[in-house]
Amino acid sequence: MRVAGQDAELSAWMRAAQGGDAGAYGALLRACVPIIASVARREGVHGGDAVVRVVEETLVAIHRARATYDPGRPFLPWLTAIAERNATDLLRQSAPEAGRSGCAGRSICASLLRAVTIFRPKVQRSRGDGRDDGVPR
């Protein structure tokens, strides 16, 4: 099924679920499982138990937030954002304490630091009176 068609179907199920249709809600949640698992793996979650945990947490989050879903907007980006957040949370929680500094690994941290250094805007250090105004130039 193409993404647009899949999104339309998922959106229709969510609208029906918001209206109290238990069958549509069940179909929606069943259809979300492989999508959530795919997002978790894409975000770097490995191992069956970890992926299942992201799926479970995301399904609970969907349940809790279902009233906030706007039926006029696409469903997949809403679902993906929730799944990505849950995957990130799991990775953050499972990072080893010794190397934890907000990054999953030292090589990732080093890459991020290099990128920030390269792309950091130049800051004019003086406004003419010797004080730093902190405005990127």
Give per-residue pLDDT as tens, 87-124. Answer: 999 998 887 653 444 445 445 555 555 554 554 444 44
**Is 92 a member of any domain?**
yes
**Is 83 a member of any domain?**
yes
Tokens of 73: 């907007």
**Is 129 a member of any domain?**
no
For the cut 50, the answer to whether the pLDDT of residue 66 exceeds it is yes
Going by C-beta distance under 8 Å and a sequence separation of 6 or more, which residues neighbour residue 58? 32, 36, 79, 82, 83, 86
**Is 22 a member of any domain?**
yes
**Is 86 a member of any domain?**
yes
CA 18 vs CA 22, 57, 65, 73: distances in Å = 9, 20, 11, 14
Segment 10-32 mean pLDDT? 95
Segment 20-43 mean pLDDT? 95
Domain count across the chain: 1
- Among 18-27, 71-80, 89-98, the range scoring the smallest mean pLDDT is 89-98
**Confidence tier at 74 by pLDDT (50, 70, 90):** very high
Q: Which range of residues forms the domain containing residue 62?
A: 3-96
Identify whether the C-beta of residue 90 lies closer than 8 Å to the C-beta of residue 69: no
For the cut 80, the answer to whether the pLDDT of residue 125 exceeds it is no
**Is 103 a member of any domain?**
no
**Is 110 a member of any domain?**
no
Segment 24-30 mean pLDDT? 94
Segments in the chain forming alpha helices (H):
3-18, 22-42, 48-65, 75-94, 106-119
Report pLDDT for 135.
43
**Confidence tier at 5 by pLDDT (50, 70, 90):** confident
For the cut 80, the answer to whether the pLDDT of residue 67 exceeds it is yes
CATH of the domain at 9: 1.10.1740.10
**Is 42 a member of any domain?**
yes
Q: Residues of the chain with pLDDT > 90: what percent?
A: 61
CA 34 vs CA 59, 73, 105: distances in Å = 12, 21, 27
